[in-house]
Structure 1
Amino acid sequence: MSSPIVGRQEISRIKPHRNFEGHTKWVRGAIHLPGGEQIMTCSSDGSLRVWNLKSGKQIGEDWRDGDSPVWTMALSPDGKKVVSGSEDGRVRLWDMDTGKIIVKWMGHTRPVISVCWSRDGRRVLSGSDDGTARQWDVESGEAYLAPIKTTWHQHVLAVVYSPDMTMFATGEAKRAFIKTWDAKTGELVATLEAADSVWCLAWTQDGKTLISGLRDGSIRTWSTTTWKQIAVLDGHTDPVESIAISPNGRILASASFDKTARLWNMDNNQHIGSPLQHPDYGSSVSFSADGKLLATGCFDNNAYTWDVCGILKEAGLSELLLDKPPVFAVRDTLSSGPTPSQLNLFLLG
């Protein structure tokens, strides 16, 4: 199901909750840290920085290892490490407590554009402008498999693990393909033909849906059972650079080169409220652990946070912050099912 296109002329009344200023070049990523009091950013100025969420002030010194622009980063599932990918082709693993590098993975020959953790925190996946995807063993510090060459003369802009860690997907820049791979063997599982080059990917927590952001501004969802397209979410007018799914799986956030970020209702694929206007290209989106705050990165060298609660309340969709209640299967009269008293207990909590 497609959502209506909203033109550039639409002006949002929604203002950022907080600005984070200090980087000297583009902010390529912004993520929430455990505890709900800090965010971290990475930038083309070669640094990672930690910020106080309430004051908007930087905490401590920059995290640096040379001057190579940092293109991407991701927090480990346990919140104790962060991995970054840089223009020099290095994948760096950082200790969150000390801000020091644990290991530096070398193998990519061009910029590392995307990184992703496996759900158990044992592996890191990286995608590079050199046309390969690589897996790294966090404990041993070694490559998990030989590099996977997606196709010749192409660039890997997006990588993501499936929730069960049996597969991962890659998005390619020059040809409109999404490819899924067996995470243990590196063998190709499926090839999905998109409408345009694929700039970002996300996998729903139940593993049933793969979501892609495309250069043409569309967001497309795919069934991982049939490997067929399910829906198209239209609204952005330029490439979709980043997408993220809320912790409860009910909201999708996207950032685009059209200088906006958007929220989408995953129940019906419709956009929520007005676009979140940015001064320059939007580069990243990240939800807080409770889903109530959104962090975005921007090419104006700054990061921003946005009040998701307020946006949903204004749109009359506050229930999207709640987890979906379990759905009882409809049974025939001869089958056993929840009794009226059980249903009352469920509804009353």
Structure 2
Amino acid sequence: MAAEIHSRPQSSRPVLLNKIEGHSDSVNAAVLIPKEDGVITVSEDRTIRVWLKRDSGQYWPSIYHTVSSPCSCMSYHHDSRRIFIGQDNGAVVVSVTVSPPRGLILCVCVCVCVCAAHQNRVSDLIFSLESQWVISTGHDKSISWMSTQSGSMLGRHSFGSWASCLQYDNDTQHAFVGDYSGQITLLKLEEQTCSVITTLKGHAGSVSALYWDPVQRWLFSGASDHSVIMWDIGGRQGRSLLLQGHHEKVQALWYLPLTHQLLSCSADGGITVWNMETTREEAPQWLDSDSCQKCAQPFFWNIKQMWDSKTLGLRQHHCRKCGKAICGKCSSKRSTYPIMGFEFQVRVCDDCYDTIKEEDRTPLATFHEGKHNIAHMDMDPSRGLMVTCGSDRVVKVTHTFVLYINRSHCLEHHFQNSACLTFHFSLCPMKQIISALIFNMSSLTSSLNNLRQNNIK
């Protein structure tokens, strides 16, 4: 069922620990079970499976439960052991996993209720413990929310296109819904009604992934246009940052506050780690013009200027650095510009190219290969684990590198900026918690030196 690849990380790159196989169709979601060596998967083959790691180091299914329709998405709440599954027929299934009296192995999956939440495939769903709601989006162009206490449907809101992904803020009861038109709608959900707060527009393709960080109040979105956008919701200034570092549709996102890193996964298996601690610049809006804003040559739709100047019209392009409308002759060079999120070479005008220094081309992201189609990703930062799944029917458990890359720098940063406080650092390679009580700057230095001397790995 599963193959053990490595028992512990050997390098700073992601290390494949286990590869789980056994599904007969695409695996649409996989989540790690907190505090246990387990993975829950749902698939197009209509099965819900709980895989637990055995003494041999391999994962074997401890629960194999079949439902009536293909499973499209999942949300898992560990404390109550509840699994919420969205199905292709529009239903939301609530199941409970039951443990034996003695032992940690999950052995029984009991279906509690089935709710007809949508009239078409459920694309995403989230369980809110504070509200006791299950919020879901579907291909029937709607978002719905139901009470887990009464099992009744509380409300529904329709959009102009398929709703593809969802995030929810528990404190403010705001929902973020991405759709196939490339828009993200911000809604305020209430018991029986909802109100549209605003609509975010920036993607040129369908929005396929969302991630909400409630602390920084940042919303990250990934789309089929191969780009990621960070929306600064908390700043209330309309600020957004464009990140381009994929060759295919971005399908999974995860932000790590401790290291200020964003992980994005794409359909071709690419995994990009973005440094979000550095100061970045917003990409400019593209300007409109009937002629090149550098050489004044007309574009091909400017019939009057073409007739007056007796010249053929040119094709319009845009400089990614200044946003001006330019012709091909005035933008003959290409360059990366990571500070604006352009990790790959893009078109810039000749004037802007001359202003870009070599240090401006220093990458602010690292690129890795998941080596399989990634449709969904889940992480357990406390253990440094990541699980990915996709249409190749394979689930991969990987030891991530982001929590122990530059670990001494991260620890030093937290120690130097803290006094008279207790902090807990989760060091995943050791699988233990180091607690430090800091009273003054001298103890800060000694604590940091002790950590370095112990050569924590």
Q: TM-score normalized by structure 2? A: 0.63
- Which residue in the other structure is 1:220 paired with? 229
Match of 2:175 among 168, 179, 192: 168
Picking from 52, 56, 60, the partner of 2:62 is: 60
- Ranked by relative contact order (alpha carbons within 8 Å, sequence separation 6 or more), the top structure is 1
Conserved? CA contact 1:258–1:282, under 8 Å:
yes
What is the aligned partner in structure 1 of residue 22 from structure 2?
Answer: 22
Give the Å deviation of 1:248. Answer: 4.5
Query: Aligned partners of 1:271, 1:36: CA distance in 2, in Å?
Result: 34
- Report the counterpart of residue 350 of structure 2 in structure 1: none
Do structure 1's residue 148 and structure 2's residue 157 form an aligned pair? yes
* Pair 323,133 (structure 1): closer, same or farther in 2 beyond 3 Å: farther
Q: Which residue of 1 aligns with 2:185?
A: 179
Deviating more after overlay: 183-192 vs 125-134: 183-192
Corresponding residue SS for 2:28: strand
Letter in 1 for 2:92: V
Counterpart Cα distance in 2 of 1:242 and 1:14: 16
Pairwise CA distance, 1:321: 9.0
Q: Which runs of 5+ in 2 are unaligned?
A: 1-11, 99-107, 279-340, 342-362, 420-437, 448-457
The alignment of Structure 1 onto Structure 2 pairs a total of residues equal to 320
Identity %: 20
Alpha-carbon distance in 1 for matches of 2:413, 2:95: 33
Deviates further, 100-109 or 72-81:
72-81
Aligned-pair Cα RMSD in Å: 3.0
Matched, 1:256 2:271: no
Mapped to 1, the partners of 2:60 and 2:37 lie a distance apart of 12
The amino acid that maps onto 1:282 is: I
Residues 106 and 320 (structure 1), Cα distance of their counterparts in 2 relative to 1, 3 Å cut? farther
**DSSP-derived class of the 1:99 partner:** strand
Distance 1:319 1:33 in 2: 30
Superposition deviation, residue 291 in structure 1 = 4.8
What secondary structure, in the 3-state scheme, does the structure 2 residue paired with 1:16 have? strand
Question: 1:42-61 counterparts in 2 under 5 A?
Answer: 42-53=42-53, 55-61=57-63
Structure 2 residue matching 1:170: 3-state secondary structure? strand
Structure 1 CA distance for aligned equivalents of residues 60 and 131 of structure 2: 27
Q: Which amino acid is the alignment partner of residue 57 of structure 1?
A: Y
Decide whether aligned partners of structure 1 residues 138 and 62 sit closer, same or farther in structure 2, where only a CA change above 3 A counts: same
The one-letter code matched in structure 2 to 1:181 is: L
Shift of the 346–142 alpha-carbon distance from structure 1 to 2, 3 Å rule, reads farther
* 1:170 counterpart letter in structure 2: V
- Between 199-208 and 266-275, the greater mean CA deviation after superposition: 266-275
1:295 aligns with 2:387: yes
For 1:323 and 1:25, locate their aligned partners in 2 and report how far apart those are by CA, in whole Å: 46
Alignment of 1:187-266 (within 5 A): 187-196=195-204, 197-206=206-215, 208-225=217-234, 226=236, 228-246=238-256, 248=258, 250-266=260-276
**Matched-pair contact (CA < 8 Å) for 1:209–1:221:** yes
1:266-321, CA deviations, whole angstroms, 9 ceiling, x for partnerless residues? 32387654323323x21111111515011111211010011114x655x5457569
TM-score normalised according to structure 1 size: 0.82
Q: Name which one, 1 or 2, has greater alpha-carbon Rg.
A: 2
Partner residue, 1:3: none
Distance 1:28-1:41 versus aligned 2 partners, 3 A rule: same
1:120-173 deviation line (CA, Å, top 9, x unaligned): 3611110100000011211211123x2111x23x10101110141421110011
- Residue identity matched to 1:206: V
- Residues 28-72 of structure 1 show CA distances to partners (whole Å, capped at 9, x for unaligned) of 111011223101111111111111246332232422212x21111
Distance 1:320 1:155 in 2: 41
Give how far 1:176 is off. Answer: 1.7
**Amino acid of the structure 1 residue aligned with 2:96:** D
How far the C-alpha of 1:188 sits from its partner, in A, is 0.4
- With over 3 angstroms needed to count, the CA separation of the structure-2 counterparts of 1:65 and 1:318, relative to structure 1, is farther
SS in 1 for 2:197: strand
Q: Report the CA distance between 1:252 and its aligned residue.
A: 2.7
Match of residue 32 from structure 2:
32
1:7 corresponding residue in structure 2: none
Return the offset for 1:192. Answer: 0.5
Structure 2 CA distance for aligned equivalents of residues 52 and 318 of structure 1: 33
Aligned equivalent of 1:136: 146
For 1:257 and 1:191, locate their aligned partners in 2 and report how far apart those are by CA, in whole Å. 26
Runs of at least 5 residues in structure 1 that lack an aligned partner in the other structure: 1-11, 330-339
Partner residue, 1:276: 369
Inter-CA distance 326–42: structure 2 relative to 1 (3 Å threshold)? farther
Question: Are 1:119 and 1:164, in contact at CA under 8 Å, matched by a contact in 2?
Answer: no
